[in-house]
Amino acid sequence: MPIVDLLTRNAKEYGDEVALVELNPELKDMRRMTWKEYDLIQPEPDEPYRREITWRIFDEKANRFANLLLERGIQKGDKVGILLMNCLEWLPIYFGVLKTGALAVPLNFRYAPDEIEYCVGLAEVDILVFGPEFIGRVEEIADRISEHRLLFYVGENCPTFAESYNTLTADCSSVAPDITLTDDDLAAIYFSSGTTGFPKAILHKHRALMHSAVVEQKHHGQQKDDVFLCIPPLYHTGAKMHWFGSLVSGSKAVLLKGTKPEFILDAVSREKCTIVWLLVPWAQDILEALDRGDLKLSDHELSQWRLMHIGAQPVPRSLIRHWRDYFPEHQYDTNYGLSESIGPGCVHLGVENIEHVGAIGVPGYGWECKIVDENRQEVTKGEVGELAVKGPGVMVCYYHDEKATEEVMDKEGWLYTGDMAKQDEEGFYYLVDRKKDVIISGGENIYPVQIEDFLHGFEPVNDVAVIGLADRRLGEISAAIIEIKKGFTCTEEEVQLFCKKLPKYKRPRKIIFAEVPRNATGKIEKPKLREIYGAMNLVAQENEG
């Protein structure tokens, strides 16, 4: 069944129960109270640092937005872009889009104006919904993208080039629109990129969304009394598909704005969270704060916290060993997936397999996996090859990109991930390397070609290569190896000043002035660079540690 049916069910069965809580501890210092003192008060839903909605209100808000879209001519198969930071409006807007039969198109909140414009055009977005954090970026391209599109603004003080979502939806019906949906209807477009750095539009059906929800609930056993703490951005398949487990069970979820260790533990305490999905940097920050004594477990109510799981990047074994020093009773899981396979869960470790930390795990519920050679023939166990996955969550295609689709999918429905892996005798899969040059830093993909192209615009630069170097906290950091033109001089400070034109997460963390080696065909020899500077980086980290 389409996933919107779960929201309708929850509104009927659990209408007056809290569905979503938004916490923004930056707006108010919640740490002034202990969790026991906090328990003695009843926080008001409209306080600026804490907002909440019930399942009934959630569903009504989704219906109001759906009816607004229909009034503005949106039909089945049209597309609605969502450019919002995590907030209480995000999911009702997403489900409002789905209820019309249109496709939801979430956009990365880190996109620069040109990337927003590119993705809006690639996905053929008809309406773009954006929040206050994006006024400047959208205004920069508004004249070009608004000619054939509507712009809806979510927040106070609506800019003149957009219409107010708050005002418009207030006058719309809260009754669900009469739109028939099936599992085979198209539901969403998510974005991903290869080493070229140009985003690809990933097309999914309602069947895939529903499968991801079932997979998440099967893997982590969400029950009605569970509370999920959601910290990563909802535009990403990972965060939303993990929340889908709460949708299946009709349980509460908390959207936390902020990743400071004290914010996370306070939220777990005060909202009685039982499940927390972390990225490696956040888990590492919590451990370091506990090690320093900046945080004390005794100051928080954490006995109900049963599961911590991690995804989006490789997880160091040492981190989980250290985690269990502080949280020996926690269940632990790691999840592997791609946006092309509707996010996490096509491979997962499983809470019962913590002794296999280091592996990405076994095929997820309803999924098949295999490892193949360059001819896409299965290899024997223990041999390294490309990981391929198959299941109901595999994408339909890359939207309007038949060639790219054929490169990663075959006629039998296998998706070839581009990740090199091996399988041990017990059936557990281990990632070995990536065929692509994508750098995963703190769970975010960084595309070297984008940075290389940008740095080539800096006059002193003759040649440049960007590679990933291991980092204990972020998993990887980007390093730019820069070859300076003869007759020029350049300092690291000058390069970093030039890179301020890039979004912060794309700026190289390390600058190395050296020759850039290329092979006979003109390709940069990145394996050689990784071998040289990767070893140097490990030595430097050991000296720092």
Tell me whether residue 413 is in a domain: no
Q: Which of 326, 347, 366 is the last residue of a domain?
A: 326
- Give the model's pLDDT for residue 30: 44
Convert the pLDDT of each residue in 105-130 to its tens digit.
Answer: 999 988 889 999 999 999 999 999 99
- Give the model's pLDDT for residue 421: 87
Convert the pLDDT of each residue in 508-541 to its tens digit.
Answer: 999 999 998 876 445 678 888 888 888 666 545 5
Residues 319 and 465 in one domain: no
What percent of the chain has a predicted confidence (pLDDT) above 90? 67
Tell me whether residue 370 is in a domain: no
Q: Determine the number of helices (DSSP H) and then strands (DSSP E) in the chain.
A: 16, 26
The two three-digit tokens of residue 455, written as one number: 């740095």
CA 483, 488, 489: angle at the middle one, nearest 5?
80
Tell me whether residue 372 is in a domain: no
Question: Rounded mean pLDDT of 410-428?
Answer: 92
Distance CA 342, CA 335 (A): 12
- Lowest-confidence region among 43-52, 330-339, 431-440, 498-507: 43-52
- Give the model's pLDDT for residue 486: 81
Q: For residue 36, what pLDDT band results from cuts at 50, 70 and 90?
A: very low
Burial (Cβ within 10 Å: 0-12, 13-18, ≥19) of residue 23: buried
Residues 316 and 444 in one domain: no
The two three-digit tokens of residue 353, written as one number: 């397999």
What is the count of structural domains for the chain? 2
Q: Which of 265, 298, 326 is the last residue of a domain?
A: 326
The two three-digit tokens of residue 183, written as one number: 């599992």
Tell me whether residue 453 is in a domain: yes
Q: Is-contact 88 110, C-beta < 8 A? A: no
Tell me whether residue 81 is in a domain: yes
How distant, in Å, are the alpha carbons of 86, 143, 204, 471 from that of 441?
20, 34, 26, 9
Residues 14 and 161 in one domain: yes
Residues 453 and 317 in one domain: no
Q: Which structural domain range is residue 119 located in?
A: 4-326
Tell me whether residue 80 is in a domain: yes
CATH of the domain at 317: 3.40.50.12780
Residues 447 and 302 in one domain: no
Q: Which of 301, 326, 351 is the last residue of a domain?
A: 326
CATH of the domain at 496: 3.30.300.30
Tell me whether residue 232 is in a domain: yes
- Give the model's pLDDT for residue 432: 73
Q: For residue 37, what pLDDT band results from cuts at 50, 70 and 90?
A: very low
Residues 454 and 322 in one domain: no
Distance CA 21, CA 266 (A): 14
Beta-strand pair 18-23/252-256: parallel
Distance CA 229, CA 300 (A): 15
Residues 315 and 443 in one domain: no
Tell me whether residue 356 is in a domain: no
- Give the model's pLDDT for residue 195: 39
Residues 181 and 322 in one domain: yes
Distance CA 213, CA 189 (A): 17
- Residue 540 Cα to chain centre, angstroms: 30
